[in-house]
Chains A and B, each alone.
Chain A
Amino acid sequence: MIREFAAIDVYYLLLAARWTLALTALAFVGGGLFGIVVALMRVSPFMPLRALGAAYVNVVQGIPLLGWLFVFFFGLPILAGVQVSSWVAATIAFSFYAGAFLGEIWRGCLQAIPRQQWEAGAALGLGFGEQLRHVIVPQAVRVAIPPTVGFLVQLIKNTSLGAVIGFVELTREGQLTNAATYRPFTVYIAVAAIYFAMCFPLTQLSRRLERRLRVAR
């Protein structure tokens, strides 16, 4: 039965937006862990590690996110021998995906620090790890914040693809609402507006932080 699109539907969409944010948060934490490893591999003095990091980034960025979602959704049960929920599959796929992008962003930030800073650290007798920890990372973090916030916007938008493996977040809830009310235009405008409300402030924040960083230099 087709019912009217009403205020309660907007409320349900807003509730579903929580799962968009929850998936974004999980993917950001998981992707952050992958990203740190990738960024460090990419600046390590050991060539095979650098090559491995670069290969990971190229492969992840060369395949559509939809591909990764399905490969993990159907591949994990083969690997684990049990059916996995769309939560598990989506979290792992998004972390894996975000790791490559965050790794690239953070590598760029590490490499933005002048080489002389590494050399100064070495001259003081610090090892590679100590140079990173005490000299490079504290400076790189400041550079890293604006693009990382910018990537968060990408991540929020990309979680919409979680809908295709049955993860009920904002876009999937929109599809379900549309199926019940058959008001596609109204429903998807509402969905788009909620995404915009989540993403636009972050875009602005990222821009402001970047401007401040440029002024500080």
Chain B
Amino acid sequence: MNYRFNFRDIWAQTDFILEGILVTLALTVVTMLSGLVIGTLGAAARVHGPRWLSTMVAAYVEVIRNTPLIVQLFLVFFGLPSAGIRLDAMTASMIALGINLGAYSTEIIRAGLEAIPRTQVEAGRCLGLSGVQVFRHVVLFPAIKVIYPALSSQFVLLMLGTSVVSQISAPDLFHVASIIQSRTFRDFEIYAVVSGIYLALALAMKLGFAAIHHLAFGRR
């Protein structure tokens, strides 16, 4: 092994890398929110909705979960323009990621809703709690507690998964890496550095979610 590693050219690009990190984080946060909204609506439709709606949501979940994210992204970015819908790379990324996460969170939230036995709700009503109180104390809080671990690890997977948007040239951290690669020809070095950054982001997210879990559910 007589390769000479050279990281100097990469340190020169720190500002550019920071921009990439910000885009990755922005994509992650926006997708977390839209995925949560889609997932909550989807789960509600699956559990409480009419038959036809429940079936449609189930089909959506199966189609998304059994096809790769990159193909979904290509369909939104390259496929939709032929239907007259032209999107820039960031919008297409947010839509594809949101639809993707929505399917996974629908399943997770549905499991949380189904984990609350009907008898618990009835017990709450018997104790004289109002409908809103029952929903808040008997359904919502325990359900969030059930889904929190699965949902938070899904969020970390999402953050790592956003790297795929580099393939349609959305300016995220991974795309920044490929531009720096073509500028400096330090291919191994840049991908090693960027991988390290993702690892740090993933660990930070895990620690953050663990801290929130401790604050919210620690007393019980």
**B34 is an interface residue with CB less than 8 A from chain A:** no
Cβ < 8 Å to A, chain B residues 117-168:
156, 160-161, 163-164, 166-167
Q: How many A-B contacts if CB must be within 8 Å?
A: 114
**A59 is an interface residue with CB less than 8 A from chain B:** yes
**B58 is an interface residue with CB less than 8 A from chain A:** no
A79 to B69, CA, bound (A): 31
Decide: A183 near B70, CB < 8 A? Known: A64-B160, A67-B191, A71-B191: no
**A185 is an interface residue with CB less than 8 A from chain B:** yes
By DSSP majority rule, is chain A's interface helix, strand, loop, or mixed?
Answer: helix
**B80 is an interface residue with CB less than 8 A from chain A:** yes
Report the minimum CB–CB distance from B15 to chain A (whole Å): 21
**Chain B residue with the shortest CB-CB distance to A198:** B66
Cβ < 8 Å to A, chain B residues 171-212:
174, 177, 187-188, 191-192, 194-195, 198-199, 202-203
A65 to B164, CA, bound (A): 9
Q: Are B194 and A199 in contact (CB under 8 A)?
A: no
Report chain A residues within 8 Å CB of B63: 192, 196
By DSSP majority rule, is chain B's interface helix, strand, loop, or mixed?
Answer: helix
Binds A, one of B25-33, B71-79, B87-95: B71-79
Q: Are B192 and A163 in contact (CB under 8 A)?
A: no
Q: How large is the interface on A (under 10, 10 to 19, 20 to 34, 35 or more residues)?
A: 35 or more
**B215 is an interface residue with CB less than 8 A from chain A:** no
Report chain B residues within 8 Å CB of A37: none
Report the minimum CB–CB distance from B71 to chain A (whole Å): 5
Decide: A163 near B70, CB < 8 A? Known: A66-B163, A78-B188, A203-B65: yes
Report the minimum CB–CB distance from B173 to chain A (whole Å): 9
Q: Are B167 and A164 in contact (CB under 8 A)?
A: yes
Decide: A67 near B65, CB < 8 A? Known: A78-B188, A161-B164, A188-B71: no
Report the minimum CB–CB distance from B1 to chain A (whole Å): 6
Decide: A71 near B66, CB < 8 A? Known: A64-B198, A164-B167, A188-B78: no
20 A-B Cβ contacts within 8 A?
A61-B202, A62-B203, A63-B160, A67-B195, A67-B198, A70-B177, A157-B66, A160-B70, A163-B70, A171-B71, A171-B74, A175-B74, A184-B79, A185-B83, A188-B79, A195-B67, A196-B63, A199-B66, A200-B62, A203-B65
